[in-house]
Structures are given as structure tokens and as C-alpha cells.
């Protein structure tokens, strides 16, 4: 449409036969502009003055970003005489750096033993009854129900590509062995197992496990 409109304008312009308007010369009005006087030459034998030097701009110092150190991890205090099920969060369980070991190749010499990666306060939770909320990620199904699942910190880590760390989830099995229906957000209660569980090839499968005595819908306590 825009191209056709421009073509019509060109055709209309080419078809005009009117003569161009005549230019009528008239008297010059106004004052004459005085010519610019040339700059005075330098005296004989003396060089011309150099142009003024540009002012020096001091260099801008580089900005060095200093990252603040991470805040210290709050220890989990499980005092005797407290509630039967200690309230815990998956963020508390994952509040330390954990790197799962890489098993050696078959036939290679076993690596030297490494120190226990778990902080003492979390290691002391092994066998302690706790209560944790999270999102259900099914692992094993039986007759259309959930026989085993992972308790995850968010639904994004369940369904999308948000990589969850090994120490941020708990592998859950119903204590009575009966499969349950799928629930999105749940609160589980039971004895927590703390330690590396490895497969036959030496790969770490989980660091937290629980045989849940109760599984409550909605993440409510």
C-alpha cells in the first residue's frame, strides 16, 4: 500500500506541464557582511604559537567488588525433653556445602578415606524423630499410587530444571509399606536417617532418608 501511494505521487508529479515560476531580481537589501580579516602572521623567524594542550583527565580507579562472606550456619539444637517430633526444614538440612564423591573406575585403586562431610549437629540427628514439610516428587509407583518419593524444597525443583543439591531432599518410604495417593505438598513425620547411601557402583543416592510414620496433606503440621 505504501509503495503504490509513492508511485501515484511520482506519476502525478511527472504529468505537470506548468512552467516553473520566474525569478525576479530585486534590489539588494541589508548591509554587506564584512569579510573576515586574516590572522596576523607571526613575526619573521618566530614559530607560530602552538594550540593549547588538552587538560589531563586523571584515570578512574578500578572498582573492585568485594563479596561479603556467607553468614554462619545456624546449628540445629535438639535438646532432650523437647517435642516428640523436632520441627525441621529442608533449608536447615541443606545449609552446608556437600559434594558427593565420585567412585573410582573399575579396577582402579580405591581413593583414600575422606572426613565425614556432615556437621556434628546434623550428624546427631541420625535416628531422631523429626517433622519436615516439602513437595512430593514420585520415585516409584505401585497400582497407581506412590510407593516411594523424594521430599523436595520447592515445586520448581520437582518439575523444572532448577537443580537441587543432594543434601536438600529426603527420600521417603511409608513406614507401613502401603502406597499412598499423590499429594503436592506434604508434611512427614518419622525417624531421620543421616548418612551417604550408595548404589552398587559407589554413587551416592541419598544422604537423608525417612520411613514416614505419618504423611499429612497440604504441608500443614
- For 4-37, the pLDDT digits (tens) are 444 444 444 444 445 545 544 555 555 555 555 5
pLDDT of residue 3: 45
Q: The domain containing residue 198 runs over which residues?
A: 86-102+116-217
Task: Please choose, from the candidates 209, 215, 221, the residue with its C-alpha nearest in 3D space to the C-alpha of residue 145.
Answer: 215
Average pLDDT of the segment spanning 155-171: 76
Whether the Cβ atoms of residue 181 and residue 145 lie closer than 8 Å to each other? yes
42 in any annotated domain? no
In a domain, 22, yes or no: no
CATH number of the domain to which 145 belongs: 2.40.50.870
In a domain, 49, yes or no: no
Q: How far apart are the C-alpha atoms of 62 and 126, rounded to whole Å?
A: 50
The string of DSSP codes covering 134-202 is: EEEEEEEEETTEEEEEEEES-HHHHHSS-PPPGGG-EEEEETT---B---SEEEEEEEEEEEEEE-TTS
State the pLDDT at residue 162.
62
At 113 the pLDDT is: 87
Residue 9 lies in a domain: no
Mean pLDDT of the chain: 77
Q: Is 2 inside a domain boundary?
A: no
Predicted pLDDT of residue 65: 53
Is residue 95, in this structure, part of any structural domain at all? yes
Over residues 59-78, the pLDDT tens digits come to: 665 555 555 555 566 666 65
Q: Residue 210 — pLDDT band, cuts 50, 70, 90?
A: very high
Q: Does the predicted model carry a pTM greater than 0.85?
A: no
Write the DSSP symbol of residue 80. Answer: T
pLDDT of residue 179: 93
**CB contact at 8 A, 118 and 99:** no
Those residues with Cβ within 8 angstroms of residue 101's Cβ, 6 or more apart along the chain or in another chain: 111, 114, 202, 204
Per the structure, how many domains does the chain have?
1
- The reply to whether 207 falls in a domain is yes
Closest CA to 170 of 131, 137, 210, 213: 210
- Whether residue 156 lies inside any domain: the answer is yes
Q: Percent helix, strand and coil across the chain, each rounded to 5?
A: 15, 25, 60
Distance CA 194, CA 92 (A): 13
Position 204 pLDDT exceeds 70: yes
Q: pLDDT by residue (tens digit) across 94-131?
A: 999 999 999 988 888 888 888 999 999 999 999 999 99
Amino acid at each position: 500500500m505504501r509503495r503504490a501511494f509513492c508511485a501515484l505521487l511520482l506519476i502525478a508529479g511527472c504529468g505537470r506541464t506548468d512552467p516553473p515560476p520566474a525569478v525576479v531580481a530585486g534590489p539588494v537589501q541589508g548591509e554587506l557582511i564584512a569579510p573576515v580579516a586574516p590572522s596576523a602572521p607571526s613575526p619573521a623567524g618566530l614559530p607560530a604559537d602552538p594550540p593549547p594542550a588538552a587538560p589531563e583527565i586523571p584515570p578512574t580507579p578500578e572498582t573492585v567488588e568485594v563479596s561479603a562472606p556467607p553468614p554462619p550456619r545456624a546449628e540445629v539444637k535438639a535438646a532432650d525433653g523437647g517435642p516428640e517430633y523436632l520441627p525441621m526444614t529442608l533449608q536447615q538440612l541443606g545449609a552446608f556445602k556437600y559434594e558427593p564423591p565420585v567412585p573410582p573406575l573399575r579396577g582402579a585403586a580405591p581413593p583414600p578415606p575422606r572426613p565425614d562431610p556432615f556437621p556434628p549437629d546434623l550428624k546427631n540427628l541420625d535416628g531422631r524423630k523429626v517433622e519436615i514439610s516439602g513437595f512430593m516428587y514420585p520415585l516409584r509407583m505401585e497400582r497407581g499410587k506412590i510407593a516411594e518419593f523424594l521430599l523436595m524444597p520447592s515445586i520448581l525443583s520437582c518439575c523444572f530444571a532448577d537443580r537441587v543439591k543432594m543434601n536438600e531432599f529426603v527420600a521417603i518410604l511409608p513406614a507401613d509399606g502401603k502406597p499412598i495417593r499423590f499429594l503436592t505438598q506434604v508434611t512427614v513425620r518419622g525417624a531421620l536417617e543421616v548418612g551417604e547411601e550408595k548404589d552398587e557402583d559407589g554413587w551416592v543416592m541419598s544422604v537423608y532418608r525417612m520411613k514416614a510414620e505419618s504423611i499429612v496433606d497440604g504441608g500443614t503440621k
